[in-house]
Structure 1
Amino acid sequence: MRSEVMLENNTHIPIENKIDQINACIKSIHGDATFELVSITCDDIGYKTPNFTTSGIFRLHGQVKLLHNELMWWCVILKIIKADTEEKDNLEHHNYWRREALVFESGVLRDLPDSICVTECYLVEEQQDGTIWLWMDNIKGEYANTVEQFSFIAKQLGRFNGAYLKGIKVVPDHKWICRSWLKSWTTASRIYAPNMEAYVSRLSSENEQSTWDWYRGILKNIDSAIDSLQQLPRVLAHQDLSQMNMLLVKKGTSLSQLVLIDWQSMSISGIGEDLGKLFGVNLSLGIIPPDQYLRFQTSLYDAYLEGLRDMGWQGMQD
């Protein structure tokens, strides 16, 4: 006779109705071993800045009893994605809401260059309320903070992109992979931009006025500058390389693996666009200290080029 599962649900989601799904995830974790589910705890991980299309991210964990009454721990991550505005139901939108579910269902992540590792998705489950539940492996790793760690990531990105440039890997051609991510993002972001003209009268110093003139010049030419990126060689890109989406996982005594999570923004982009996102987003978040921006910028750029050369790509002459 099976004992009753101990359940502690610290969230609003009806996890008590998902025992079969939890068992399926545990079976993937422990292989074909016979087990009995002992306990389930469901916690909200407290992610404070979710994507507009993310309803919540939760950690489910507990114990199972294997043969000979051996107790083992299990843990999975549950991410719930949802529809948002009408524009995010467009395949070409940078934040097309179904994209990450399609990434996992397609298996495209199983054929990435070996410089990038990914989390395993056990189940992609559509709900009656229109949301999609993604049941994923729980990855334990370290977030990048130092220039050495960020440079390691930049080098792996170079190797990642270089594999497509040299034909070692073929860029996937699924219609739901964004083709103009940066164009879509900058266009959509304009509705959130403040009216800067209202602040111009407050500018007092010559340096502030010079900065404002520089900014206006960027705005005036931004569309043509972004359009010019379409001429760059195309590679598969992640496009959301904030600190929390990059995990450094120890392999052996000294080596690390780069694990990228959250492939919602997957795109086919120009070479170097992911490097720019890596630097820019973490500088804007304060992860890269503003007073060290030049040191990080130089180190990341050099590391990215080193990664490209590791794969045999020497430049446009290739």
Structure 2
Amino acid sequence: MLENKMDQLNISVQRIFGEQRVEIISFSCEDLNYQTPNFTTSGIFSIHGMAIVNQEQVPWSIILKIIKSDSVEKEDPAHHNYWRREALVFESKILDELPGSIQAPKCYLVEEQAEGTIWLWLERIDGEYARTKQQFDFIAELLGQFNGAYLTGKKIPNEDWICRGWLKSWTTSSRMYAPNLDTYINHLHRDKALNIWTWFNSFTNQIESNLNALNSLPRVLAHQDLSQMNMLLNQGEMEEKRLVLIDWQFMSISGIGEDLGKMFGVNMSLGVIPVHRYEEYKESLFHAYIKGLKDAGWYGDERLARYGYCLSTALRSIWEVPQYISLNAQLQSDPLNTSLQERVIRLEQIIIIHQKMGLEADALKLCKT
């Protein structure tokens, strides 16, 4: 796939080493087979090799990410998954001006192709994925510092392709593509499943009101895709840990606490956060986030951050509950399927967290009014 891309490869490798004279002497390309790509991601590849730099052989490595249009709705810059957004983010240089607590990979080249794809030639980031509560708390604190910078004087970028209503767009799409529950409801017999269904109906009836309430929160620049795979911890100067966030496709202007809710919710969904520690993580992440906000100089009403955190986590039920209901129905006809049992039990525990946080958001909403 790189036979006609030597000029682009040379430009990218040259930019790794700056002004020095560079000669590529070998390279290979490896498909990373990323397991959970965005719908707008066509492929992610690792390209690496050797080059002569100042008469010495040195290794180099870059990431090639290919993005594409997936559907008509994703042609709209207001859509949460607008397909061109990450390319525009890199071209704009917004990521060069992030607060110090967060870093992003360098982009060496943005290249639009005739067939309708865009190739992003990116810095390869070597780092460690968060696996412990301490690491997640550390990231939550840096996230607080990142969001807090925009609450204490740093100007929020105003480009029109940055999403302004990320959760509204996401919930609309989730409802559109969720399983049709009409065929499953009659199969609900367990008390827990029936209780979840009753709560979910009440919660969804308030969606528009809740989304409108989010718009009243103080605004910050947000990443909105803080899954484990997009957060890399590595050593910076002075042996200090630094956080590098990759995949800025969902960049948005959001309410305080929303990014933290996405981080907590998506890592429960992916099975990264252990089921028996959901409550522990829920509280420790929030306290770390508040510490980060204060480190950035924000001493506003913590209930605002709590509201954004609770509601953004609870809104994930729009996707999770339909999955849970459909799996429950399958379990009725296949009760000995242990894999299915485990999925249902884990989803049930996640939705219980959604319920608790949704109810807390309701209480906080009343306090706000």
TM-score normalised over the length of structure 1: 0.92
1:60 correspondence with 2:47: yes
Determine whether 1:83 maps to 2:69: yes
- Candidates 88, 95, 99, aligned match of 1:109: 95
Letter in 2 for 1:87: E
Cα distance between partner residues in 2 of 1:121 and 1:83 = 20
What code does the residue aligned with 1:264 have? Q
1:166 aligns with 2:149: no
The residue identity in structure 1 corresponding to 2:131 is N
1:186 to 160, 171, 176: 171
Pairing 1:99–2:85 present: yes
Is residue 2:257 matched to residue 1:268?
no
Return the structure number with greater helix share.
2
Cα RMSD for the two superposed structures: 1.5
Offset of 1:212 from its aligned partner?
1.5
1:207-286 equivalent positions in 2, closer than 5 A: 207-251=192-236, 255-286=240-271
Q: Which amino acid aligns with 1:54?
A: T
1:187-235 deviations in Å (ceiling 9; x for gaps)? 0111211123432322223333212111111121122111210000000
| Aligned-pair CA distance for 1:308 | 0.5
Residue from 47, 60, 79 that aligns with 1:74? 60
Query: Is 1:29 aligned to residue 16 of structure 2?
Result: yes
The one-character-per-residue Cα deviations of 1:106-152 (angstroms, maximum 9, x if unpaired) are 11111111110110000000111111100000000000111111111
* Deviation beyond 2 Å, 4+ runs, structure 1: 195-208, 251-255
1:153-187 deviations in Å (ceiling 9; x for gaps): 100110011111011x1001000000000000100
1:237-265 deviations in Å (ceiling 9; x for gaps): 00011111110012357531010011000
Q: Which 10-residue stretch deviates more, 258-267 or 215-224?
A: 215-224
Q: Does 1:305 align with 2:301?
A: no
2:34 to 36, 41, 47: 47
Percent identity between the two aligned chains: 56
User: What is the number of residues matched between the two proteins?
Assistant: 303
Q: Which residue of structure 2 aligns with residue 177 of structure 1?
A: 162
Deviates more, 1:186-195 or 1:132-141: 186-195
- State how far apart, in whole Å, the 2-side matches of 1:316 and 1:298 are: 17
- The reply to whether residue 206 of structure 1 matches residue 206 of structure 2 is no
Q: Aligned to 2:150, what secondary structure does the other structure show?
A: helix
Counterpart of 1:275, as a letter, is L
SS at match of 1:165: coil
**1:127 maps to which residue?**
113
Classify 1:253/1:195 alpha carbon distance in 2 versus 1 (closer, same or farther; 3 Å).
same
Distance 1:119 1:112 in 2: 12
Instruction: Specify whether residues 254 and 110 from structure 1 end up closer, same or farther in structure 2 by C-alpha distance, changes over 3 A only.
Output: closer
Q: SS in structure 2 opposite 1:306?
A: helix
Q: Which residue of 2 aligns with 1:145?
A: 131
Equivalent position of 1:6 in the other structure: none
Instruction: Give SS of 1:166's match.
Output: coil
